[in-house]
């Protein structure tokens, strides 16, 4: 395993139980229909997320390591494999929403079956390689918890009734963000990547040296109000602001605002997990693609940060930042703000392997390495990111046209 383990074996059962209970809680507000529908090929039904994360433990952990384990249903290997070519054929991703059977109740019974077997396994003394695999499975399920929320939001946004997944939190006082300040960073050779002392996915390492030119980084995220200015100034109509592939996407998809924005009674509203809500000008803009983030930066006379710049700045100024888990307005204070817990921040860096990176042996080696082409890196974390996944070295990644995640931007410039 290339992932760096953090959880000692004595705490592994607790981690497993907490993660699995959280997934059940997230599925609580959903009907069988909610959990079955698929709104687009890039999204997956909530029922599929719940079953796939269970399939991971059954296939990767229980079948090879628990003598006498009886699979819940042998057909589930086809239904709930994601992209592991070495583990056999699977239901095509764009057709996951066709799985009206098994029901949500059956998927929950599948989860309970696997949980009972995992409880038996976790009572034993496990060799390091096995408990590292269980820990990876827990962090894998946490990634799918975030995907479950973003996919449900995309699904509910297609419904003309604009249903809410959950009640809106109490309104917060939102003071207007101050004028953006830029913090300067000297150039030189810096170290980035995970160095141990906690769990990390394989793509976060190895730690290595990078030459960084002097740069300046905005102290806060770009806001909805600033994005409204971009829209009003014809930002979506000016081809000079856009990368060629981005402009082609704008034309083909008819983009004229962030995903989920719509005009309602003469004002901008946005679909959220709490239903249709007015767009708050002082909140960070979200649900934008890499193409849109890059175009906005060009319009503003700035650029997106590189991932090495972002990590270097986060390590220096926000090493102990924790996820907010709820959106919050920009606030005062010195240093960089909103680095974690609000929106993922696009960088201009393609998702490629670090020097000396090697995928793990076997099926687990398909986890990240096979996607290191055609994707761009996002840093930080969002309001939907599980606790423990907000760290300076975390490398999220999506194609440049992806907009359904909680993705925004922070501006940078050359010093």
> Please, what is the average pLDDT of the chain?
91
Q: Are residues 213 and 108 in the same domain?
A: no
Q: Does 165 reside within a domain?
A: no
Among 122, 157, 192, identify where a domain stops: 157
What span, in angstroms and rounded, lies between the C-alpha atoms of 137 and 123?
Answer: 17
Q: Does 283 reside within a domain?
A: yes
Residues 11-36, mean pLDDT to the nearest whole number: 97
What span, in angstroms and rounded, lies between the C-alpha atoms of 218 and 378?
Answer: 16
7 Cβ partners below 8 Å, 6+ apart? 15, 131, 135, 138, 199
Question: What's the sign of the alpha-carbon dihedral 91, 97, 99, 105?
Answer: positive
Assign 360 a pLDDT band (cuts: 50, 70, 90). Answer: confident
> What does the pLDDT read at residue 377?
98
State which H helix or E strand residue 232 sits in: helix 224-232
Q: Are residues 134 and 231 in the same domain?
A: no
Q: Are residues 35 and 119 in the same domain?
A: yes
Give the count of domains, the chain: 2
Residues 175-192, mean pLDDT to the nearest whole number: 89
Q: Are residues 189 and 144 in the same domain?
A: no
Q: Are residues 258 and 128 in the same domain?
A: no
pLDDT for 325 beyond 90:
no
pLDDT for 320 beyond 90:
no
pLDDT for 337 beyond 90:
yes
Q: Are residues 206 and 349 in the same domain?
A: yes
Q: Are residues 193 and 338 in the same domain?
A: yes
Q: Are residues 219 and 75 in the same domain?
A: no
Supply the CATH number for residue 335's domain: 3.90.1580.10
Burial category of 232 from C-beta neighbours within 10 Å (exposed 0-12, middle 13-18, buried 19 and up): exposed
pTM listed for this prediction: 0.93
Spell 25-64 as b/e; 16+ CB within 10 A means b: ebbeebeeebbbbbbeebbbbbbbbbbbbbbbbbbbbbee
Q: Are residues 196 and 142 in the same domain?
A: no
Q: What is the percent of the chain where pLDDT is above 90?
A: 80
Among 106, 141, 157, identify where a domain stops: 157
Give the strand pairing for 376-380 and 396-398: antiparallel
Residues 134-153, mean pLDDT to the nearest whole number: 97
Residues 112-124, mean pLDDT to the nearest whole number: 96
Q: Are residues 105 and 250 in the same domain?
A: no
Q: Does 125 reside within a domain?
A: yes
Q: Are residues 383 and 299 in the same domain?
A: yes
Q: Using the 8-state DSSP alphabet, how is residue 366 labeled?
A: G
Q: Does 293 reside within a domain?
A: yes
Q: What is the largest CA-CA distance in the chain?
A: 66
Assign 230 a pLDDT band (cuts: 50, 70, 90). Answer: very high
Whether 378 and 397 have beta carbons less than 8 Å apart is answered as yes
Which candidate, 290, 250, 275, places its Cα nearest to that of 374?
290
Whether 384 and 264 have beta carbons less than 8 Å apart is answered as no
> What does the pLDDT read at residue 368?
74
315 is in which domain, residue-wise?
182-414
Query: pLDDT: is 327 or 390 the higher one?
Result: 390
Q: Are residues 217 and 363 in the same domain?
A: yes
What span, in angstroms and rounded, lies between the C-alpha atoms of 96 and 84?
Answer: 16
Q: Does 168 reside within a domain?
A: no
Residues 94-105, mean pLDDT to the nearest whole number: 97
Assign 8 a pLDDT band (cuts: 50, 70, 90). Answer: low
Assign 334 a pLDDT band (cuts: 50, 70, 90). Answer: very low
252 Cβ partners below 8 Å, 6+ apart? none
Helices 244-253 and 290-299: angle between axes, nearest 10 degrees: 110
Please report which residue ranges of 93-127 form alpha helices under DSSP H.
104-122
Q: Does 1 reside within a domain?
A: no
Q: Does 302 reside within a domain?
A: yes
Q: Does 104 reside within a domain?
A: yes
What span, in angstroms and rounded, lies between the C-alpha atoms of 261 and 271?
Answer: 7
- The pLDDT tens digits of the residues spanning 61-83 come to 999 999 999 999 999 999 999 98
């Amino acid at each position: 395993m290339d992932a760096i383990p953090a959880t000692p074996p004595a705490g592994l059962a607790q981690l497993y139980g907490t993660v699995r209970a959280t997934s059940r809680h997230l599925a609580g507000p959903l009907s069988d229909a909610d959990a079955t529908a698929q709104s687009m090929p890039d999204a997956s039904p909530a029922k599929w997320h719940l079953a796939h994360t269970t399939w991971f433990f059954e296939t990767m952990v229980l079948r090879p390591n628990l003598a006498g384990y009886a699979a819940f249903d042998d057909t589930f290997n086809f239904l709930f494999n994601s992209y592991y070519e070495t583990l056999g054929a699977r239901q095509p991703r764009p057709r996951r929403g066709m799985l009206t059977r098994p029901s949500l109740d059956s998927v929950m019974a599948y989860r309970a079956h696997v949980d009972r077997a995992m409880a038996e396994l976790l009572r034993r003394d496990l060799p390091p390689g096995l408990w590292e695999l269980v820990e990876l499975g827990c962090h894998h399920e946490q990634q799918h918890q975030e995907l479950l929320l973003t996919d449900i939001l995309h699904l509910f946004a297609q419904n003309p009734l604009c249903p809410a997944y959950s009640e809106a939190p109490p309104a917060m006082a939102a003071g207007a963000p101050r004028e953006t300040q830029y913090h300067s960073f000297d150039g030189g050779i810096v170290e980035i990547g995970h160095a141990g002392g906690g769990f990390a996915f394989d793509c976060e390492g190895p730690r290595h040296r990078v030459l960084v030119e002097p740069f300046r980084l905005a102290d806060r995220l770009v806001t909805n109000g600033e994005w409204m200015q971009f829209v009003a100034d014809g930002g979506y109509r000016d081809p000079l602001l856009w990368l060629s592939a981005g402009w082609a996407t704008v034309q083909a998809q008819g983009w004229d605002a962030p995903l989920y924005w719509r005009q309602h009674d003469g004002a901008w509203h946005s679909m959220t997990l709490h239903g249709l809500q007015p767009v708050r000008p002082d909140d960070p803009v979200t649900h934008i693609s890499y193409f849109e983030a890059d175009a906005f930066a060009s319009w503003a006379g700035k650029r997106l940060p590189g991932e090495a710049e972002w990590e270097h700045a986060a390590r220096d100024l926000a090493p102990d930042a924790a996820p907010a888990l709820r959106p919050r307005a920009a606030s005062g204070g010195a240093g960089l703000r909103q680095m974690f817990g609000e929106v993922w921040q696009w960088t201009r860096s393609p998702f490629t392997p670090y020097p000396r990176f090697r995928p793990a042996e076997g099926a687990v080696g398909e986890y990240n390495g096979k996607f290191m082409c055609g994707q761009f890196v996002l840093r930080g974390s969002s309001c939907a990111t599980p606790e423990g996944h907000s760290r300076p070295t975390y490398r999220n990644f999506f194609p440049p046209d992806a907009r359904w995640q909680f993705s925004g931007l922070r501006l940078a410039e050359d010093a």
